[in-house]
């Protein structure tokens, strides 16, 4: 698959090379670029609440063994060289937010040495520092928007905390980042150069392409106008507290597992009804919402990767788009009938997913509120982004929970 239409007489590889050259020659005339639609959403939210750490993306890993700190720091430098989005910040130019790409510089790995403390105190202090680091706000107008902190507990025991702002990365990006750290670090420890080729395009190229093709989305926008016409603007769940005037983003997790038997039955039903597991579970979730609220017009949102093209799969950046999935539930239906209705809605949404959520919101002219999100307030996501385990030579790794 290709990012732009191409001449049929060229091979796929030739087209990709031609596309990459064309985009980069055009884009590199300047170091400032428009924001993607997804970035505009987060930039706008940051203007409303500067310094809100809600959109920090952080990962912490415990490292045990022969950690080569110099190789790790050089690995991070190589990453920022490879991916321009990791050295991007944002500022207004002619009243428009723009991406500003800085020149490559050596990455500075921050190190906190706790090895002189008593063993029990080290653990407590390491947790406090790592949680504080993960929740430290980013300044989008200055950067950097990637940070790395290495906490030393002993000569063979470290904790590394990686933090990025969501405006430059998503969940898929974290998997790409982990995979590349593994490969580059391994090479540097062995005294070899990075084995990875430079990406043929960068996130800023994608943002420019997305804006350039905006006029082509009219047909897709018509679908969303029809699909969401007359949809309720607010989903009223029966809660024990009033909705606050400004969202607080405070919440909690409730984890549970489905039995092997139930999971097998769900997969069998997916096969019978020709639906994905996401569609089946979404139908069940909509039944739950219908019974809680009595609302027959059930509107929920879901995240979609936004990486429909192969060239985007290995890039870091914020590609995630949001789809609005609306189902009118009839209490006389069987569950199977609801599953089929949900399948139809999902297939329609997938077929028109290239319209950025922000464009849909603008098109529907919905009332904005700091108290709740536009178009939907309940989200349902089945996480299937590729998970990558971090592997480093002569080092054992264990995920570290950043919850305080």
**Residue 394: count of CB within 10 angstroms of its CB:** 10
DSSP class of residue 217 equals G
State the Cα–Cα distance between residues 50 and 62, nearest whole angstrom.
Answer: 31
Q: Say which CATH superfamily domain 12-208+387-400 falls into.
A: Chloramphenicol acetyltransferase-like domain (3.30.559.10)
The predicted pLDDT at position 249 comes to: 75
- Model confidence at 367, in pLDDT bands (50, 70, 90)? confident
The predicted pLDDT at position 390 comes to: 67
12-208+387-400 shares its CATH topology with 216-246+257-364: yes
- Residue 387 reports pLDDT greater than 90: no
| Higher per-residue confidence, 387 vs 240 | 240
State the Cα–Cα distance between residues 74 and 78, nearest whole angstrom.
Answer: 6
What is the DSSP code string of 250-313? Answer: ----------HHHHHHHHHHHHHHT--HHHHHHHHHHHHHHHHH--SEEEEEEEE----SGGGT
What is the DSSP code string of 120-138? Answer: HHHHHHHHHHHHHHHTPPP
Mean pLDDT for the stretch of residues 143-147: 93
Q: Where are the domains of the chain?
A: 12-208+387-400, 216-246+257-364
The CATH number for 216-246+257-364, chosen from 2.60.40.10, 3.40.50.920, 3.30.559.30, 3.10.180.10, is 3.30.559.30
Cβ neighbors of 271 (< 8 A, separation 6 or more) are none
The predicted pLDDT at position 6 comes to: 32
For the full predicted model, state whether its pTM sits above 0.85.
no
Percent of the chain with pLDDT over 90: 63
| Higher per-residue confidence, 195 vs 216 | 195
The predicted pLDDT at position 404 comes to: 59
- Residue 385 reports pLDDT greater than 80: no
- Model confidence at 386, in pLDDT bands (50, 70, 90)? low
- Residue 18 reports pLDDT greater than 60: no
- Residue 290 reports pLDDT greater than 70: yes
């Amino acid at each position: 698959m290709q990012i732009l239409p191409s001449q049929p007489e060229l091979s796929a590889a030739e087209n990709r090379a031609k596309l990459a050259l064309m985009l980069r020659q055009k884009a590199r005339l300047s170091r400032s670029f428009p924001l993607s639609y997804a970035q505009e959403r987060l930039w706008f939210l940051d203007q409303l609440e500067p310094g809100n750490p809600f959109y920090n993306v952080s990962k912490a890993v415990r490292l045990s063994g022969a950690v080569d700190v110099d190789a790790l720091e050089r690995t991070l430098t190589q990453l920022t060289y490879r991916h321009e989005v990791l050295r991007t910040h944002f500022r207004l130019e002619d009243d428009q937010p723009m991406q500003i790409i800085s020149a490559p510089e050596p990455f500075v790995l921050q190190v906190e040495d706790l090895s002189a403390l008593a063993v029990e105190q080290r653990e407590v202090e390491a947790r406090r520092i790592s949680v504080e680091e993960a929740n430290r706000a980013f300044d989008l107008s200055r950067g950097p928007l990637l940070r790395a902190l290495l906490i030393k507990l002993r000569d063979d025991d470290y904790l590394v905390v990686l933090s990025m702002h969501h405006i430059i990365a998503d969940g898929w990006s974290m998997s790409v980042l982990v995979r590349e750290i593994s490969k580059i670090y391994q090479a540097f420890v062995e005294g070899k150069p990075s084995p990875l080729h430079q990406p043929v395009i960068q996130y800023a190229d994608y943002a420019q392409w997305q804006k350039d093709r905006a006029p082509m989305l009219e047909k897709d926008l018509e679908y969303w106008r029809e699909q969401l016409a007359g949809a309720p603007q607010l989903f009223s769940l029966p809660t024990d507290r009033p909705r606050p005037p400004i969202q607080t983003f405070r919440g909690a997790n409730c984890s549970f597992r489905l039995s092997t038997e139930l999971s097998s039955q769900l997969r069998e039903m997916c096969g019978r009804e020709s639906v994905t597991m996401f569609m089946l579970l979404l139908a069940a979730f909509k039944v739950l919402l219908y019974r809680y609220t009595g609302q027959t017009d059930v509107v929920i949102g879901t995240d979609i990767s936004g990486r429909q093209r192969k060239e985007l799969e290995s890039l870091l950046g914020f590609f995630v788009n949001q789809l609005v999935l609306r189902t009118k539930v009839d209490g006389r239906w069987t569950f199977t009938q609801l599953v089929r209705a949900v399948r139809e809605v999902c297939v329609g949404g997938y077929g028109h997913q290239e319209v950025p959520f922000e464009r849909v919101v603008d098109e529907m002219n919905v009332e904005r509120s700091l108290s709740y999100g536009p178009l939907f307030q309940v989200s349902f996501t089945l996480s299937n982004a590729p998970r990558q385990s971090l592997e480093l030579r002569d080092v054992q790794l264990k995920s570290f929970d950043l919850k305080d």
